Structure 1
């Protein structure tokens, strides 16, 4: 059984060995994560844990003035295809609704077919493209939006 729990500094330490491998040039620093996790006003971060407390995934959002921006969603390669990203996304959006957010936005790599399919299945619509957004200008981002009302 997987648990979705508030993200802590211990989770940050557990995810850091995987961050560069999973996110390449967009990898965040340990300090960046700690600042995000510690900023409880507009940020909300969760971690997916195994029964043994091992980190399986993490995700976070920024919620400002009725708008939520999904900042990161990561699932360790060995834990993928088990619905963890969907569980974390549901938790993030539930928190956004509790904070009275009306719409959600995100950017996803144009070549990340699995993530794009997940977001579409959760009601996000592709609304635009940011050319050269990822990988030092080599990969476009697709911008997606979902109404939370």
Structure 2
């Protein structure tokens, strides 16, 4: 799917919050936190939204924070009907570009050890395991810490 990825605006919050709750039901971010990110109240954080360039249909979002040379992909989500269409890859590419623009050299993320689909996606895009956080999630699942150079082409 062809999408346009850019900074999220206040008009994107409701759709992002709905997808956030659906994608991360055990620990969704609040609409207030998302508003703070969009409003620039968290200067290290950026919220990106993907939309169809033809009809403006919301296609997903990503949240990245950049501190010094490290960028962290904190969230990335695509509606189920649009998965495996290239939207997540476009969001990841935009995240890399934004991180590089802000001076980061490394992109980090945490992923549930049991999330095979996400792990396969990240592996395909050049991420390697950097560490493990046992019992990191509320249900006791281990988090894998993954890393890739910001400038690496997927």
Q: TM-score, normalised by structure 1?
A: 0.91
Picking from 134, 138, 141, the partner of 1:131 is: 134
State whether residues 107 and 143 of structure 1, in contact with CA within 8 Å, keep that contact through their aligned partners in structure 2. yes
Mark the runs of 5 or more structure 1 residues left unpaired by the alignment: none
Using the TM superposition, give the Cα deviation of residue 138 of structure 1 relative to its aligned residue in structure 2, in angstroms: 2.5
C-alpha separation between the residues in 1 aligned to 2:19 and 2:91?
18
Runs of at least 4 residues off by over 6 Å: none
Using the TM superposition, give the Cα deviation of residue 26 of structure 1 relative to its aligned residue in structure 2, in angstroms: 1.6
C-alpha separation between the residues in 1 aligned to 2:133 and 2:33?
23
**SS of 1:91's equivalent?**
helix
State whether residues 126 and 143 of structure 1, in contact with CA within 8 Å, keep that contact through their aligned partners in structure 2. yes
C-alpha separation between the residues in 1 aligned to 2:18 and 2:100?
32
Moved more, 113-122 or 26-35: 113-122
Mark the runs of 5 or more structure 2 residues left unpaired by the alignment: none
Q: Kindly report the root-mean-square deviation, in angstroms, between the aligned alpha carbons of the 2 structures.
A: 1.5
Using the TM superposition, give the Cα deviation of residue 110 of structure 1 relative to its aligned residue in structure 2, in angstroms: 1.2
C-alpha separation between the residues in 1 aligned to 2:21 and 2:134?
22
C-alpha separation between the residues in 1 aligned to 2:19 and 2:46?
21
Paired residue total = 148
Matching residue of 1:47:
49
State whether residues 108 and 141 of structure 1, in contact with CA within 8 Å, keep that contact through their aligned partners in structure 2. yes
Matching residue of 1:30:
31
Using the TM superposition, give the Cα deviation of residue 25 of structure 1 relative to its aligned residue in structure 2, in angstroms: 1.5
Using the TM superposition, give the Cα deviation of residue 61 of structure 1 relative to its aligned residue in structure 2, in angstroms: 0.5
Give yes or no for the alignment of 1:76 onto 2:93.
Answer: no
C-alpha separation between the residues in 1 aligned to 2:35 and 2:89?
24
C-alpha separation between the residues in 2 aligned to 1:21 and 1:41?
26
**SS of 2:64's equivalent?**
strand
Picking from 112, 119, 124, the partner of 1:121 is: 124
Picking from 59, 81, 89, the partner of 2:62 is: 59
Matching residue of 2:14:
13
State whether residues 131 and 137 of structure 1, in contact with CA within 8 Å, keep that contact through their aligned partners in structure 2. no
C-alpha separation between the residues in 2 aligned to 1:66 and 1:30?
28
